[in-house]
Amino acid sequence: MRLDRDEFIVDYDSTQIGEAELLAIVKKAGYTSSIVANNESSPPVDGDSGSRDDPIFVEALARAKKENKPLVLDFYADWCTPCLKMLKTTIPDPKVAALLKKCVFLKVDTDKHPELAKSFGVVGLPDIRFLAPDGTEKKRLRDFLDAESFAAELEELLASLEQKESAALGIETRPPTAEEIKAFELPNIKRHPQGRVLTVIVENGPAAKAGLMPGDVLLALDDNTVYSSDDIRDFLRVFQPGERVQALVKRASTQIEQAVTVTLDVESVSFEGEHFTWQYAGLGQFDVALAYALRDRKLVLVGLSGADT
């Protein structure tokens, strides 16, 4: 049994010590406790009172927002043995310290800031909270963690809020109107017209440099038929900035199909939580994916969506 991790039951003689005194002793040792009757647990309930107007929290959260960093709140007390052990052994660890530099780290003494602790429902220590830059709570840790375990938790937190570079075409699009479907002779599949009309061309962006113009209709990207904005986003997710792709368009001026080479640019996209990234975007790469699967003796996972499936 590990006192800093496991739940356990302590029998006591009520003629020798009262409930309130016993709970006070356990709390002073840094643990969460409750009275159990007839072997049925009655865990403490987190409170929702208190106040988060404490200047130390307001300042830390403002800094997290400004620097776009997660906020790590470490609720502790001088009498909490596992808290002091973490502050002495876990937090100074070189790997942990390096990861905390990528966060806003705030130690909160619950005896000096009881209202702030109460607002987070702190009833036992240690209690560590991970908050996103906007103040949204991401995770709660209520046990002693050694350096390796705490570093792993921090890495997971930072990865979930990581800024990743995504390829961009530098365009905005909309569905074609009935008149445009007729004028451009766009094929329909189950009432879904092929193509997206370019409405905005970002100045000096990839599409602008390739000579695309507002009103042009984007039909396909590297043989992947375009029916919706999702088709474009799915395609871009599997490419890197700087790569060159073929865009098949019908020009607004001539309504003639033309293949245009576009060099993709960079767009920063924030990913929260777990996301799945496809290796190949669309039926245009199915034969390539199948060939690699046969070579490497792997399965092909196919996600069906869109009009052409």
Structure-model confidence comparison of residues 20 and 284, the more confident one: 20
Could you tell me the pLDDT band of residue 220, with boundaries at 50, 70 and 90? Answer: very high
Residue spans of the domains in the chain: they are 55-163, 166-296
For residue 30, is it left (φ>0), alpha (ψ between -120 and 50) or beta?
A: left
55-163: CATH topology: Glutaredoxin (3.40.30)
Cβ(217)–Cβ(184) under 8 Å?
yes
Whether residue 155 is predicted with pLDDT greater than 70 in this model: the reply is yes
Q: Tens digits of per-residue pLDDT, 228-248?
A: 998 898 888 888 889 999 999
Cβ(219)–Cβ(256) under 8 Å?
no
pLDDT at 197: 96
Distance between CA atoms of residues 157 and 153, nearest Å: 6
Q: Tens digits of per-residue pLDDT, 166-214?
A: 789 999 999 999 999 999 999 887 677 899 999 999 999 999 999 999 9
Q: What is the DSSP string of 89-110?
A: IITTSHHHHHHHTTSEEEEEET
As a CATH number, domain 166-296 is 2.30.42.10
The CA angle 288-289-295, to the nearest 5 degrees, is: 90
Least confident of 41-50, 70-79, 163-172: 41-50
Whether residue 110 is predicted with pLDDT greater than 90 in this model: the reply is yes
